[in-house]
């Protein structure tokens, strides 16, 4: 564990801790404490108060993600992966895609408090401030071919929405292909990447970003309507508990999809389709197509009715927007 991580672990209670006390507990000089406080303030955008005679404290307590707690709360009926947590990382997906190059691939999960280069679909930036949301990726060895994973991101979306429903959030809907919305605002995004040969097997990396408690400083960077989980529930939110619950359900979905494909998820997805039977615009490259959304087919392609004919559209440079 880095000195910054150890230092932050001492400060998460939101109480004052003297520089002398922190230096003694962590076995470093007071100058090292001061230097790393500055790093936490500048690189992690943490509001740490420094008061002469009292020491340092966070302006509010936070719950750091803990791999041990996540594993302890993981469901017994899903695969038990290795779990790592980072204070900061460029991208959880990028980290695991490097692991996917290994000859021996095993199920692994990585969580991060902050991503400096978080990514969404088509290379778009995923705003990833420190310590408020959930950013995690799963490396999953998939014993089939690339054509067999068509629709996998839809199955992951179903798993996340069903978990939200278990937690009392019944207003979440699925937006084809990889987003979860509440009242038209984005709550969660999914990014799927893979490594392997055309004949299989594959290493699949599933990246998930869920807005839990978005700080005001980061909200201004988001270029689309968004919503946070914290605003949807009156219950106290434990990020470690949420992390374990979402991870458990996504892992179960990956196992079910590997065995049975998209079919067990298709009807469940369509029941939660936010644009089902609505008139929409579909941006496909330089073309814009207007039609009526008719759900998805057996492979997860979008079904769009135009001039009385239903056409199929697959992932790519596709953007779905309601007509206004």
50-86 pLDDT, tens digit each: 999 999 999 888 899 999 999 999 999 999 999 999 9
- pTM value? 0.89
| Active-site residue, from 119, 173, 175, 186 | 186
Q: Answer left, alpha or beta for residue 232, where phi above 0 means left and psi between -120 and 50 means alpha.
A: alpha
Positions of CATH 1.10.10.10 in the chain: 3-58
Catalytic residue flag (residue 186): yes
Specify which of 44-58, 96-110, 148-162 reaches the highest per-range mean pLDDT. 148-162
Whether 124 is catalytic:
no
Confirm if 240 and 65 have CB atoms less than 8 A apart. Answer: yes
Assess contact for 22 and 10: CB atoms under 8 A.
yes
Structure confidence at residue 215 (pLDDT):
64
pLDDT confidence of 219, banded at 50, 70, 90? low
Pseudo-torsion of CA 316, 258, 266, 136, nearest 10°? -60
- Identify the active-site residue in 98, 185, 279, 321: 321
Contacts 24+ apart (CB under 8 A), 302-305: 302/176, 302/177, 304/280
CATH 3.30.930.10 spans which residues of the chain? 67-271
Maximum CA extent, the chain: 75
Q: Can you state the percent helix, strand and coil of the chain, rounding each to 5?
A: 35, 30, 40
User: Top-level CATH class of 279-322?
Assistant: mainly beta
Catalytic residue among 121, 175, 239, 266: 121
CA-CA-CA-CA torsion sign (46, 247, 109, 319):
negative
Average pLDDT over residues 19-35: 94
Q: What CATH architecture is 67-271?
A: 2-Layer Sandwich (3.30)
Classified by CATH at the fold level, domain 3-58 comes out as Arc Repressor Mutant, subunit A (1.10.10)
Q: Closest Cα to residue 170, out of 158, 161, 180, 157?
A: 161
Inter-residue contact 189 to 212 (CB < 8 Å): no
Are 269 and 158 within 8 A, CB to CB?
yes
Active site residue 121: yes
Which residue carries 């307590």 as its tokens?
61
Q: Which tens digits make up the pLDDT trace of 183-195?
A: 989 999 999 999 9
Q: Which string of b and e fits 6-33 if b means at least 16 CB within 10 Å? A: ebbeebeeeebbebeebbeebebeeebb
Question: What is the pLDDT, as a whole number, of residue 316?
Answer: 41
Over residues 249-271, the pLDDT tens digits come to: 999 999 999 999 999 999 999 99
Where in the chain are all domains bearing CATH 2.30.30.100? 279-322
**Do residues 313 and 304 touch, judged by C-beta distance below 8 A?**
yes
- pLDDT of res. 66: 94
**What kind and span of H or E run contains 74?**
none
């Amino acid at each position: 564990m880095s000195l910054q991580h150890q230092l932050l672990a001492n400060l998460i209670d939101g109480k004052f801790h003297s520089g002398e006390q922190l230096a003694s507990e962590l076995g470093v000089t007071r100058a090292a404490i001061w230097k790393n406080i500055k790093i936490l303030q500048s690189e992690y955008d943490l509001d740490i108060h420094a008061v002469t005679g009292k020491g340092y404290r966070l302006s509010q307590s936070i719950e750091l993600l803990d791999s041990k707690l996540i594993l302890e709360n993981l469901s017994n009926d899903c695969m038990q992966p290795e779990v790592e947590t980072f204070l900061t990382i460029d991208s959880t997906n990028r980290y695991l895609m490097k692991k996917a190059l290994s000859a021996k691939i095993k199920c692994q999960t990585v969580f991060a408090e902050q991503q400096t280069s978080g990514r969404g679909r088509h290379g778009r930036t995923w705003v990833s401030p420190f310590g408020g949301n959930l950013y995690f990726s799963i490396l999953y060895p998939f014993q089939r071919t690339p054509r067999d994973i068509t629709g996998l991101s839809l199955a992951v979306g179903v798993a996340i929405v069903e978990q939200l429903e278990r937690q009392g959030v019944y207003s979440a809907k699925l937006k084809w292909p990889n987003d979860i919305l509440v009242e038209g605002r984005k709550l969660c995004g999914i990014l799927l990447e893979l490594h392997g040969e055309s004949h299989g097997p594959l290493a699949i990396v599933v990246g998930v970003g869920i807005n839990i408690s978005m700080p005001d400083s980061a909200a201004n960077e988001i270029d689309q309507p968004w919503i946070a989980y914290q605003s949807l529930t009156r219950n106290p939110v434990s990020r470690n508990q949420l992390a374990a619950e979402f991870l458990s359900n996504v892992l179960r979905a990956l196992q079910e999809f590997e065995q049975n494909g998209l079919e067990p998820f298709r009807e469940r997805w369509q029941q939660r389709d936010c644009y089902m039977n609505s008139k929409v615009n579909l941006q496909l490259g330089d073309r814009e197509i207007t039609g009526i959304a008719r759900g998805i087919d057996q492979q997860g392609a979008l079904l769009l009715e135009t001039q009385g004919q239903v056409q199929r559209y697959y992932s790519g440079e596709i953007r779905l927007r309601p007509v206004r």
